[in-house]
Structure 1
Amino acid sequence: MRWPSLFPGLCFLLSLSGDVAQTPKATCPYCPSNASCVNSTHCTCNHGFVSGSKQTFFTFPLETCDDVNECLPPFSIYCGLNAECQNTEGSFHCRCVPGYELPSGDTEFKNLSENTCRNASAFRMDESKKELQRIIDQFETLLTNNTLWQMGKKHEVASTATSILRDVELDVLNTALKAPEQKVQKVQNSTVAIETRVVTDNCPEEKKTFSLEAQMNSLDIHCHDIVQGSMQGPSAVAFISYSSLGNIINASFFEETGEKRRVYLNSRVVSAAIGPKRNTSLSKFVTLTFQHVKMDPGNKKAFCVYWEGTEQGGHWSRDGCFLKHMNGSHTVCDCGHLSSFAVLMAFTAQEEDPVLAVITYVGLGLSLLCLLLAALTFLLCRAIQNTSTSLHLQLSLCLFLAHLLFLTAIDRTEPQALCALVAGALHYLYLAAFAWMLLEGLHLCLAARNLTVANYSGTNRLMKWLMFPVGYGVPAVIVAISAASHPHLYGTPDRCWLSLDQGFIWAFLGPVCAVFCVNLAFFLSVLWILKRKLSSLNSEVSTIQNTRMLTLKATFQLFILGCTWCLGVLQVGPAARAMAYLFTIINSLQGFFIFLVYCILSQQVRKQYQKWLGEIVKPKSESETLMLSSKFGPDSKPSEDK
């Protein structure tokens, strides 16, 4: 008798839990779990299972299909390095061993060919570093977006800066917390430098304070303020330094009464934040050390300030930040709070010496009068008009316009666009003046050489060819390049002049130093030529007189050719005050020296002055004589006494 007919009820009940894949249950014999019916006559175990009797086909109703462990012999599936075989009911899969993971985030894979297991900690650290790099690259893109910063109103710029500061802090903290195995991370490019620290447990006794550094600035913070009490899980602190953000949220956002026009940023903007819980009070002050942008600030006063976001955008504030120490290169501040604020330092502008201010204004006023008289003389006195006079005239005009603009507009810092225009005009006029000083020195050297070279010619032709391209063209090129590359550095909060940021002042000092060196070489060359000429015993009297006059002019030219600007370099140490007075007196009287040397000491000019004076006095004398003759003429008779 067949098994199905003997146990029809049992077959039906047990078959409910079976796996009938190929034939409807009504036509299948009894098959155990994980088995299938074949031709309605036999059972076979499904893939991944094997019968207890090891037979492929069976009809015994109590047969079982057991799971095959592919991870053990004789199969021993190999999943590759850093992976292991994991058996499942009827199948298997591969998975990475503890400490390793798949880049895709999946937890399992099928076979050796799909093995991409990598060190989980190294992978997270690598991803974390890439994420930090992405953050600073994104910030650099925002920072170089001139439309974003230059076209917006002041409160819009402040609001945008506040949002960016907070977003960067939040992204950096989240990135650091994603890879707590990476205790310290440092990332830097030309715009931003970041250092993060992660604390995964209680503060160790030997590490009560953490120090972070970015772009020569540093932060010292107590470990308990990072861990934030009884918070579970890792905590992080981020320290970020921004190279040029201070050019955007500059000292004009420092709105304390009486200070706005007298401060400037003298450090990079830095930002400090702790997470994951933010906006917390600190148990102890954090210490911030800033490297000065402008070294050796002298006796200037320092302020430690932070960026405070407001509904109107944001501004610099001193609340909760205090000056701890300052030297020539660094300033140390203590602050009682951290959040999304940026901490920086502001110095008051150097207090002006009232005596030097008076000397400057009186000297420049006298120079303006002398330069005007000299220019009129060079224009109207035909007897002295030549190449040399043309050089004197252009130098006088440039200095006159530069001094006039300096006296009237150097302190007019509002509106900012007008201040930048004034700074650019002063830059050009003073460079043009130095260019003409260079041409004056060249002409003087050629004139001295003319005393020793027989039939020397071509001096005037050379000077006429060089005059205007050098005198006005070269300064125009320098100013155009400077304005195109750094337009925002024209004008400062307290002066309409070139900013000291990024060494931009060398757009003026560089050409000035070059002119100074060349003119000093010309001057020494002239003195050497004149010394040899005066020592000659065979010189004619007229030549000796010309040589002595040229020597006198050369000595005065020392002041005219800008060589006294070297006194500005000597304003250091104990003699700084004396050098400052000498520098101010001599250079503010530059116009007076031009009038003295080229007009008063010129015999031809003196004769012209006498002629002009005679023409003014003569009509007056003739009119007085005419009046007297009309009153006491020959026909008039004195009255007789009665």
Structure 2
Amino acid sequence: MTISGCGLSVLSLLISIIIYVCLGKLNRIHRNVRINLMFAMLMSYGLYLTSDVTLWEDILEGEEADWVCMGLGIASHLTFLAMTFWMFAECLFVFSNATAFFESDVKLRTYYIIGWGIPSIIVGVTAGALYDRYGGQACWLDTDGGLIWTLVGPAIMVFTVNILLLILSTRTMLIAEKMELRYKDEQKLTFTKASVKSAIFLNPVVGICLACRYLCHADVIFEYQFVVLAGLQGLLTFLFYVVWNPEVKHAWKKGKEDEDDDDWVSTTRVRYPGTTTSVGDSAKPGDMSREQSFAGGSHESRDGQFTRSASQVSFYTLNSPTPDDDVYATFVAGQKIAYKS
């Protein structure tokens, strides 16, 4: 059950990360925030699958297994904290995008400081002073002392702030939409609504999952709950961030359109009827005769028109030295790259 639950989460998160990495048309900051959030989740559940001292005792000898288990405990502490703070970064971005209060002030490096910097400081100080409190049977933190509060304390604070940010974001959007004060761009409103909705659903799932991870040592029932929630979290992340995300669908569609434009290569033969001919953004039938060759085959235009619409073609002024000269021009995605007479 552990392998199936966490394995489903790891697979879902891996697919989501690959899609976000490949989609360059998404908002740069939001794209990086979500990639890092999903990466922290992926590492957390990947480490959980290997966090069993008996597994390492079968591979290593002596104290080596204990040292590896200690390292896994420290790494797990870092990744679960990072997942918590990147969830805060996600909610902060949603809030800043919904209200536009911090839209110009919160830079990408600030999110990296929040997501990786703060957890690294907490874990670095804790592990440096109390490194012997990591490890044990589950390769985790010592839950009998106060060490666990270096994870639980920040998590409680962060998820409380997240709830407040999401409440304010939802309230601001509803007021602005009702009074027609802010969102003149319907597309931006759709994207923002989707971001708020995904954060509202994922925030409690991440929080409950973290609580169950903390309580795993207390009762085996919490371990089963953690495994189920871990699998659910990865699947929900994939659904909300990829499948049901209108911004991802828009970026995918836009990327495909740009790819089609990049693949379009045409060589145009133009016969000018006069000594000087200037062609603008549109062409009329009969203005000039054309012969076109496209990537993947040749095509002859009908009635002197391009197969692609004239609005998709950018023409440049070409001066023909004599009325009968033929000028050959090469266009790539509508842009002239070379011509000869």
Instruction: Tell whether the structures are fold-level matches, with TM greater than 0.5.
Output: yes
Aligned counterparts of 1:366 and 1:502: Cα–Cα separation in 2: 33
Instruction: Tell me the residue number matched to 2:127.
Output: 483
Q: Say whether 1:394 aligns with 2:33.
A: no
Aligned counterparts of 2:21 and 2:93: Cα–Cα separation in 1: 20
Instruction: Tell me the residue number matched to 2:60.
Output: none
Q: Is the 8 A contact 1:491 1:497 kept in 2?
A: yes
Larger radius of gyration: 1
* 1:266-310 Cα distance to aligned partner (Å, 9 max, x none): xxxxxxxxxxxxxxxxxxxxxxxxxxxxxxxxxxxxxxxxxxxxx
Q: Say whether 1:509 aligns with 2:159.
A: no
Structure 2 residue aligned with 1:466, among 110, 122, 126? 110
- Give the secondary-structure state (helix, strand or coil) at the position aligned to 1:383: coil
Aligned counterparts of 1:578 and 1:546: Cα–Cα separation in 2: 43
Instruction: Tell me the residue number matched to 1:553.
Output: 195
Instruction: Tell me the residue number matched to 1:594.
Output: 237
Q: Is the 8 A contact 2:37 2:87 kept in 1?
A: yes
Give the deviation of 1:608 after TM superposition.
Answer: 5.5
Counterpart residue type for residue 66 of structure 2: Q
Structure 1 residue aligned with 2:140, among 494, 497, 518? 497
Instruction: Tell me the residue number matched to 1:28.
Output: none
- Give the secondary-structure state (helix, strand or coil) at the position aligned to 1:502: coil
More strand by share: 1
Counterpart residue type for residue 462 of structure 1: V
- Give the secondary-structure state (helix, strand or coil) at the position aligned to 1:589: helix
Task: Among all aligned residue pairs of Structure 1 and Structure 2, give the percentage whose two residues are the same amino acid.
Answer: 23
Q: Say whether 1:427 aligns with 2:71.
A: no
Give the deviation of 1:479 after TM superposition.
Answer: 0.8
Distance 1:484 1:604, change over 3 A: closer
Instruction: Tell me the residue number matched to 2:263.
Output: none
* 1:139-196 Cα distance to aligned partner (Å, 9 max, x none): xxxxxxxxxxxxxxxxxxxxxxxxxxxxxxxxxxxxxxxxxxxxxxxxxxxxxxxxxx
Gaps of 5+ in 2: 58-64, 260-295, 298-341
Give the deviation of 1:444 after TM superposition.
Answer: 0.8
What root-mean-square deviation, in Å, do the aligned CA atoms of Structure 1 and Structure 2 show? 3.7
Aligned counterparts of 1:579 and 1:527: Cα–Cα separation in 2: 32
Gaps of 5+ in 1: 1-357, 451-455, 616-624, 627-642
Instruction: Tell me the residue number matched to 1:448.
Output: 98
* 1:215-267 Cα distance to aligned partner (Å, 9 max, x none): xxxxxxxxxxxxxxxxxxxxxxxxxxxxxxxxxxxxxxxxxxxxxxxxxxxxx
Give the deviation of 1:609 after TM superposition.
Answer: 4.8
More helix by share: 2
- Give the TM-score taking structure 2 as reference length: 0.62
Q: Say whether 1:533 aligns with 2:183.
A: no
Q: Say whether 1:373 aligns with 2:23.
A: no
* 1:380-438 Cα distance to aligned partner (Å, 9 max, x none): 21111511111011112221122112113345464111100110011111111111111
Distance 1:404 1:431, change over 3 A: same
Aligned counterparts of 2:36 and 2:84: Cα–Cα separation in 1: 11
Distance 1:548 1:517, change over 3 A: same
Give the deviation of 1:557 after TM superposition.
Answer: 1.0
Give the deviation of 1:543 after TM superposition.
Answer: 4.7
Distance 1:498 1:587, change over 3 A: same
Aligned counterparts of 1:428 and 1:603: Cα–Cα separation in 2: 32
- Give the TM-score taking structure 1 as reference length: 0.35
- Judge which range, 496-505 or 602-611, deviates more: 602-611
Counterpart residue type for residue 409 of structure 1: S
Q: Is the 8 A contact 1:560 1:590 kept in 2?
A: yes
Q: Is the 8 A contact 2:99 2:172 kept in 1?
A: yes
Aligned counterparts of 1:498 and 1:476: Cα–Cα separation in 2: 16
Distance 1:578 1:501, change over 3 A: closer
Structure 1 residue aligned with 2:66, among 395, 416, 425? 416
- Give the secondary-structure state (helix, strand or coil) at the position aligned to 2:135: coil
Aligned counterparts of 2:210 and 2:42: Cα–Cα separation in 1: 21
Aligned counterparts of 1:433 and 1:467: Cα–Cα separation in 2: 13
Report 1:211-610 matches (<5 A): 358=1, 360-411=2-53, 412=55, 414=57, 415-450=65-100, 459-492=103-136, 494-536=137-179, 538=180, 543=185, 546-547=188-189, 549-562=191-204, 564-566=206-208, 584-606=227-249, 609=252
Q: Is the 8 A contact 1:371 1:591 kept in 2?
A: yes
Distance 1:522 1:581, change over 3 A: farther
Q: Is the 8 A contact 1:445 1:522 kept in 2?
A: yes
Q: Is the 8 A contact 1:368 1:403 kept in 2?
A: yes
Aligned counterparts of 2:233 and 2:244: Cα–Cα separation in 1: 16
Which structure has more relative contact order (CA 8 Å, sep 6+)? It is: 2
Give the deviation of 1:461 after TM superposition.
Answer: 4.2
Give the deviation of 1:467 after TM superposition.
Answer: 1.8
Q: Is the 8 A contact 1:434 1:562 kept in 2?
A: no
Aligned counterparts of 1:386 and 1:532: Cα–Cα separation in 2: 27
